[in-house]
Amino acid sequence: MPHLAPAILFADDAIVVADKPAGLLSQPARGEERQDCLEARVQALYDDALLVHRLDMATSGLILLARGPEMLRRMNAAFAQRTVGKRYVASVHGHVTNDSGEIDLPLAADPDNNPRQIVDAVNGRRALTRYRVVARSGEGADAVSRMELKPVTGRTHQLRVHLMSLGHPILGDVLYAPPESAVLNARMHLHAAWIAFIHPERRVPMTFESVVPF
């Protein structure tokens, strides 16, 4: 589908930086109808491109692919050592009280409701998100906060569950926001807006930004 075509922001012999639209899978999923994804579309242009990290289907924004297994190994190491910086923008329900803060809550898969994740103090893996409120608007049921998010860890649905646990689910989130939120919002308001890393081959710092589409 043309409207799901990712934009290629940068490509060389080592990496590809793409801007994924909301509604496109990062990688193939089970089922013949779920094979269309960002990885496959980028591989149509660069056949050795391999996904380094993922974004949820409903999340838009910057995603990094490595050219070949050696570049993938180097970028995986960079993520493991937390030398890759990422910043997201989200619009959430309600006015967040603090201007900035941290959400440090362990997460685990919900055994009764796949693919949902839950806060689990016993079996969960540590998950840490830093946030800053950029703007607040509206009142009452229409109150919204625009937030900048920095995930320190990279757990499944981390930002979505952490914000819901704070009492401020993301607008349009079909899993963690009230049902009417998805009815009123055409998409989930979460966007990977910024990424910074050291080039795996040339060892120079690189930074990319993407315009927030909501």
- Alpha-carbon dihedral 64, 209, 170, 109, rounded to 10 degrees: 20
Contact indicator for 165, 119 with CB cutoff of 8 Å:
yes
Please confirm, yes or no, whether 47 is among the known catalytic residues: no
Find residue 170's DSSP bridge partners: 92
Paired tokens of 26:
């990062």
**Which entry of 36, 56, 110, 173 is annotated as an active-site residue?**
56
Give the separation between CA 15 and CA 22, rounded to whole angstroms. Answer: 22
At 195 the three-state DSSP class reads: strand
State the catalytic residues: 56
